[in-house]
Amino acid sequence: MPQEDRETPGGRDISSLDFDSSGILRLQWARGVAIDAPSAQLAMDRVNELCGGRPTPLLIDMATTESVSRAARAVFAKRCDASAIALLGSSAVDRVLANFFLGVNSAPVPTRFFTNGDEAVRWLTSQGHDGA
Amino acid sequence: MDGIVVLSSGDLSNRLPVSPARDGIDAVTTGINLLAEELQSMYEDLEVRVAERTALLEAAKAELRRVIDTDELTGLASRSLLQEKVAEAVAGAGAGRQPALILLDLDSFRLINDSLGHAAGDAVLRETALRLSAAAGPGHVIARLSGDEFAVLVADQDTEAVLQTAARLGESLKDRIVAGGVAVALTAGTGVRLGEPGLRSEELIRDADIAMHEAKKRGRDTLLVFSAAMHEAAKQRVHQVAELRTALAMDQLELEYQPIMDLRTGAIAGAEALIRWRHPALGLLGPDTFLDAADDAGLTVEIGHWVLRNAIAQTGRWKSLPGLPSDFSTHINLSPADLHHVDLAPYVEGLLAEHGVDPCHISIEITETAIMRGGPEVAATMQSLNDLGVRIEIDDFGTGYSSISYLRTLPAAQAKIDKSLLDGLTTDRQQETFVAAILQLIHSAGLGAVAEGIEDREQADRLRQLNCEFGQGYFFSRPLPVADMTDLLAHRNGAVA
């Protein structure tokens, strides 16, 4: 069930966060979002909450993301319950944002950028998650 | 493009707009924005770090300043802080009331350190600091300048008040201080320089120092206010010190010899070497006119070595004279500073060997005061000289405060009684008894006696009757130049008078 949060500050930045049928947790940022540290932390807390301590593949749809602040990148660099992360974008801008994160910060779990959702799911599945 | 120029100019907070197209150009723009953010963040980190380091440096600098400004032992101001405060006070006084400076130097402080140890000495200095602070009252800068030298900068007081403060400082030290388990009473030599309009800060310090040194010279517990005459005298002494250095370099020093007679036989028993300075303008000067300056200049030991070298060399030249008495000895005066040099005995030994002089032909005269105040180093040097076979003679005996039992323990062969004791010897029955008692004391300690300052036959006769073995004085002969002394030894071989 999609999670909508209109009360918590930063909650509006997350468009949806839910498991799909294959047990992959999907996080979709709101359109044109500028991700800062609090919204990054909120997203991470929500992910951990849903995973309940179980390593889970995570697919983040970051298409149309306006920007990711340095502090937000630092939050994403911390370990969470995600066992692998696929960053899904569509434009050259998304690629730059994702690769900058991957290049400058060291991701705590296998993390890759994709422009194709199916490929992203395949890769996540191949990362050996134990399903949900 | 404008945005890039703004970034390049150093404003890293600027961001370039990204179009909704999110195409290749937007990707590059995003990259630049990310880069700008990284740089901005690094700059901010660096600035925080620079601020932290600057704060550390400032703290270290403040601590260093505190260390420089504070005398560690007493917590008083240091010399450098005093100099700063004097300069400030002089500059701040303008044409108004001028600051005055009081310098105090503790009397005989070295004795406390030497006899009770440095911990006791330090305790005394700390107590001195407390007492001076209390006596000076608030509002003055009180400093410790070195060892046992203190300063009080008095601002905005009239002459009378400054002098009262100075007197109060001296008085505050007189209550006994317990240090090293012993109660010691302190006094100080005090120099005061009253301020004058136009007097520079370094002159204020220099003049207070001159007054303090003059006070020290006049004896314990003396307070002197600086006068222009003192400055003249100090300048004169500085000039004399320079001249004295030249004198040593130019060989202007020479020795005269005063014969010492065996009162029992009337024969020459020896000669006392006496230093003279053949000053190019002032003529022949006696030691009393320049040895203080030598002391100020730190030339005492050098001059002492010069005297030893020349007197022993001369004794070597005399030994081949056919008429020289077999027990002839040259008497050489040494100062306390010479005796503190541990290498004195080896130096004398080297000279004796170099000039082929038997040690028994050399007598070293050391004043009673130097022996009493000299401590273990002087005792060790005396013992070493005695071990060489050189005779030790106690000079100016009867003018100091020798303990009688101590006299027996000294490795001395003779004692020379001061000429002041001969006054009234032949006219005052009581004085004769007194001299007789002193001679008896010397003899009972196993020493021979030499009387100096004999001016007439009556004195010589009376001393002989009192069993004084040796004598010297104008009655026999004034001090003689080397040539005359050599002539006397070669041809007279007998009574001079």
- Give pLDDT tens digits for B303-342: 999 999 999 999 999 988 887 888 899 999 998 888 877 7
Does B33 contact A at CB distance below 8 Å?
A: yes
Mark yes or no for CB contact A95/B34 under 8 Å: no
Asked, for residue B72, whether it belongs to a domain, the answer is no
User: Residues B313, B197: one domain?
Assistant: no
pLDDT in tens, chain B (497 residues): 688 888 888 888 888 888 888 899 999 999 999 999 989 989 999 999 999 999 999 999 999 999 999 999 999 999 999 999 999 999 998 778 899 999 999 998 888 887 788 889 999 999 999 999 999 988 899 999 999 999 999 988 899 999 999 999 999 998 888 887 888 889 999 999 999 988 999 999 999 999 999 999 888 899 999 998 888 888 888 888 889 899 988 989 999 999 999 999 999 999 999 999 999 989 999 998 888 888 877 888 899 999 999 999 999 999 888 878 888 999 999 988 888 777 899 999 999 999 999 999 999 998 887 887 777 788 888 899 999 999 999 988 876 665 666 777 788 899 999 888 888 888 888 889 989 999 998 998 889 999 999 999 999 999 999 999 999 999 999 999 999 999 998 876 544 54
CB-closest option in B30, B31, B41 to A70: B41
Alpha helix (H) residue ranges in B224-365: 228-249, 291-296, 300-318, 336-339, 344-355
State the DSSP code for B4: H
Residues B12 and B105 in one domain: no
Instruction: Tell me, yes or no, whether B218 and B292 share the same domain.
Output: no
Question: Does pLDDT of A2 surpass 50?
Answer: no
Counting one residue from chain A and one from chain B, the pairs whose CB atoms sit within 8 A come to 37
Tell me the C-alpha distance between B289 and B332, whole Å.
Answer: 19
Cα distance between residue B408 and residue B397, in whole Å: 14
Q: Which residue of chain A is at minimal alpha-carbon distance from B37? A: A70
Query: Alpha helix locations (H) across B185-227?
Result: 201-217
| Interfacial residues of A (vs B; Cβ cutoff 8 Å) | 64, 66-67, 69-70, 90-97, 100, 104
For an interface test with B, the pick among A91, A101, A115 (most B C-beta atoms closer than 10 Å) comes out as A91
Q: Determine, yes or no, domain membership for B231.
A: no
The CATH architecture one would assign to domain A11-126 is: 3-Layer(aba) Sandwich (3.40)
Q: With CB atoms and an 8 Å threshold, state whether A94 touches B23.
A: no
DSSP 3-state assignment of B77?
Answer: strand
Do B41 and B108 reside in the same domain of the chain? no
Q: Is the pLDDT of residue A129 over 50?
A: no
ipTM exceeding the 0.90 mark: no
Enter the DSSP assignment of B70.
B
Shortest CA distance from A99: residue in chain B:
B31
- B179 and B307 in a single domain? The answer is no
Interface of B with A in 40-79 (CB under 8 A): 41
What does each C-alpha distance from B364 to A124, B97, B368, B482 come to in angstroms? 106, 56, 12, 19
Single residue among B180, B203, B226 that ends a domain in this structure: B226
User: Alpha helix locations (H) across B418-476?
Assistant: 429-444, 457-465
The answer to the question of residue B301 being in a domain is: yes
Residue B17 lies in a domain: yes
Nearest CB to B38; choose among A64, A70, A92: A70
Nearest CA in chain B to A91: B22
Q: Taken in order A10, A11, A15, A21, is the CA torsion positive or negative?
A: positive
Q: Find the CATH number of the domain harbouring B166.
A: 3.30.70.270
CB within 8 Å: B22 and A66: no
Nearest of B210, B184, B181 to residue B108 by alpha carbon: B184
Residues of B (72-111) whose Cβ lies below 8 Å from A: none
- Identify the band that residue A51 occupies on the pLDDT scale cut at 50, 70 and 90: very high
- pLDDT at position B102: 97
Residue of B nearest to A67 (CA): B30
Task: Using CA coordinates, name the residue in chain B closest to A31.
Answer: B20
Residue bearing tokens 């021979």: B448
Domain ends where: B198, B226, B254?
A: B226
User: In terms of domains, do B299 and B150 share one?
Assistant: no
Domain boundary among the residues B66, B97, B118 is at B66
Chain B CB contacts of A90 under 8 Å are: 22
pLDDT of residue A10: 57
* B404/B396 Cα distance (integer angstroms): 15
Instruction: For strands B141-146 and B177-179, give the pairing.
Output: unpaired
Backbone angles phi, psi at A34, to 5 degrees: -105, 105
- Helices B300-318, B228-249: crossing angle, 10 deg rounding: 40
Answer whether residue B74 is part of any domain.
no
Contact B38 A104 (CB under 8 A): yes
The per-residue pLDDT for B402 is: 59
**Distance between CA atoms of B270 and B474, rounded to whole angstroms?**
15
Q: Has residue B167 been placed in a domain? A: yes
8 Å CB contact of A92 and B38 = no
Determine the residue of chain A that is closest to B41 in CA distance: A70
Are residues B440 and B351 located together in one domain of the fold?
yes
Looking at the structure, do residues B191 and B245 belong to the same domain, yes or no? no
The counts of H helices and E strands in chain A are 4, 7
**Other residues' Cβ atoms within 10 Å of the Cβ of residue B20:** 11
Rounded Cα gap, residues B423 and A55, in angstroms: 117
Same domain (yes/no): B172, B251: no
Domain that holds residue B34: 2-66
Average pLDDT, rounded, for chain A: 86
Query: Rounded distance, CA A65 to CA B491, Å?
Result: 126
Separation between Cα atoms, residue B244 and residue B163, nearest integer Å: 37
Average pLDDT over residues A16-33: 92
The answer to whether residues B198 and B129 belong to one domain is yes
| Interface mutation target, options A93, A95, A99, A100, chain B, most CBs of B under 10 Å | A93
Q: Which residues of B touch A67 (CB under 8 A)?
A: 18, 30, 33
CATH number, domain of B335, equals: 3.20.20.450
Q: In this structure, are B54 and B141 located in the same domain?
A: no
Is the Cβ pair A93, B22 closer than 8 Å?
Answer: yes
**Residue A78: closest CA among A105, A104, A47:** A105
- The answer to whether residue B417 sits within a structural domain is yes
Would you say residue B363 lies in a domain? yes
Please indicate whether, in this complex, the C-beta atoms of A70 and B37 are within 8 angstroms of each other: yes
CB contact under 8 A, A96 and B27: yes
